[in-house]
Structure formats: C-alpha cells, structure tokens
Amino acid sequence: MMARVMRRAGWLAVVGCCTALAASCSLFRAQEPLDSTTGRHPTEPARLAQLDFGRDAVFAQCVPPACPTRTPKTLAAEAPRQSIDPAASPAPAEPVAPAPVQPAPATTAPSSRTVIVQFALGSAKLSRAARSQLNAAMDDLLRVRRITIIGRTDSTGPLAFNQDLALARALAVRDHLRRTHPALAATLTLRARGACCFIAPNDTLAGRAQNRRVEVVFQMNEEDQP
C-alpha cells in the first residue's frame, strides 16, 4: 500500500516539473500583438518573387520569411529618367520634295490654213497685191492635200449677178494657182457664195469691201503642217 502511494507521488512530481518548464519557456517568446478586427495574429500577405536568374528564372508567390532575400546583385540598376522640357520645340519635319511638274502637252498644229484676197467693186480681176499674197502663201504650202476656193460678194445688186460674180472671182484665183503651180490642179475645188455668209455688215463702205473677197482654204497633210 505504501509503495503505491509513493509511485503516485512520483508521477505527480514529474508532471509538475514539465508544467513548470513549459511555463518558463513561454516567458522568453515574444508575444505578437493581436489584430483588433479579427482577434488573430496578423500574417504578411503573399507576394510575387523571382526564384532563379537568367534563362532559368521563374516567378512564384511566396509568404515571408520564405521569400528569397534581395541582394545588390539581384537588383538591376534603374535607368535614369529623362526629364521632358515642355518648352522645348519639336524637331522640324523633314522637307518633302515637290512632285515633278508634268510638261504641258504640245498643242497640235492646225490642219488647215485660210488666205483671204480682196476684190474691187463689181470686179473679178486679181490685183497685184492679191497675186503677191497668194504667191507668198504658196511658198509655205507647196504640198497640200486639197485647196478649196470660195468666191463671195457683198449684197449690192441682183442675186443672180452676185452669184456669177462670186464664181468669176473664184475662177480668177484658180487660174492664177494653176499658172504658178501646175501640180496643184488636181487639188483645186471651187465654190460660189454670192448671197450669204457675209463677214461684215453691208450698210457701210468698209463692211461691203470686206465682203468682196475670195477665201482660199489649204487643207494640209499631217506631215506638212507648219
């Protein structure tokens, strides 16, 4: 009986020593402050950290103090920031070369030329000035495709007389061209206009003088255009 009591007392002594030892250890551990909202000790949030370097670098979330510690070798030198001056003027734009100016198309030469010779009142005779005018024109137009000779008069006198007079004036011009340039005989065409197509009023002397005329129209070949 006495031995049982002694064993129980021994066990109680051992338990008491362990309890006292645990209490003494808790005195040396710093107590963390409790969170006022949750009543628990605060925990630092997880963050993204680089776990390796170079091509083997990987990134993962970690909770301190398990995250790797940064050292001067792992921190890249930050490039200096370049300040921007708001008053600085922008760089001038590169000049753009103007588009080349296209030359204007050359004007085509006329395909015909008209020479006008005047006649006296009621006459179909070529004056010396009219013959000189025709000769000067033919010096520039030796090769033509066709020559149309149109005789005209003013409105003075009967219509039949004016029509005959217009034809006689055209024949006078034709005969002169045949004598001076026989090779042009096949190109000559006659027309008489004694009752129409006045170029000036017939109620004045100057207007009637302009209407007493013969128009010689030279239709040129394309290669012979001036």
Q: What is the pLDDT of residue 110?
A: 60
78: pLDDT strictly greater than 60: no
- The token pair that represents 218 in the structure block: 């030279």
How high is the pLDDT of residue 84?
61
Q: What is the mean pLDDT of the chain?
A: 74
Contact 111, 222 (CB under 8 A): yes
Domain contains 129: yes
Flag whether pLDDT at 124 surpasses 70: yes
Distance (Å, rounded) from C-alpha 220 to C-alpha 30? Answer: 123
The structural domain count of the chain equals 1
- Residue 45 is assigned to a structural domain of this protein: no
Nearest CA to 152 out of 142, 171, 165 is that of 165
pLDDT of the residue at 151: 95
Residue 142 lies in a domain: yes
Helix (H, G, I), strand (E, B) or coil at 223: helix
Does 218 map to a domain? yes
**Average pLDDT of the segment spanning 115-130:** 93
pLDDT, tens digit, for every residue of 157-204? 899 999 999 999 999 999 999 998 888 888 899 999 988 888 999 999
User: What residue has token string 């030892």?
Assistant: 21
Q: Is residue 30 scored above 50 in pLDDT?
A: no
Strand, helix or coil for residue 12: helix
Domain containing 162 — which CATH number?
3.30.1330.60
Domain-located, residue 208: yes
Domain contains 1: no
pLDDT at 223: 47
Write out the residue range of the structural domain in which residue 220 sits.
Answer: 112-224
The answer, yes or no, to whether residue 109 has pLDDT greater than 60, is no
pLDDT value of residue 195: 82
Checking if the pLDDT of 117 tops 50, the result is: yes
Predicted confidence (pLDDT) at residue 27 exceeds the cutoff of 50: no
CA pair distance 162, 156, nearest whole angstrom: 8
CA–CA distance, 212 with 165 (Å, rounded to integer): 10
195 domain-assigned = yes
The rounded distance, in Å, linking the Cα atoms of 109 and 113 is: 10
Predicted model pTM: 0.50
Give me the pLDDT at residue 176, please: 94
CA distances from 166 to 8, 171, 173, 201 (A): 169, 9, 11, 18
Within 122-189, where are the H helices?
128-140, 159-180
Contact (Cβ atoms closer than 8 angstroms) between residue 184 and residue 178: yes
Is the sign of the CA dihedral 132, 135, 140, 144 positive or negative? positive
Task: Kindly state the average pLDDT of the residues 98-117.
Answer: 69
In a domain, 80, yes or no: no
Mean predicted confidence (pLDDT) in 130-159: 86
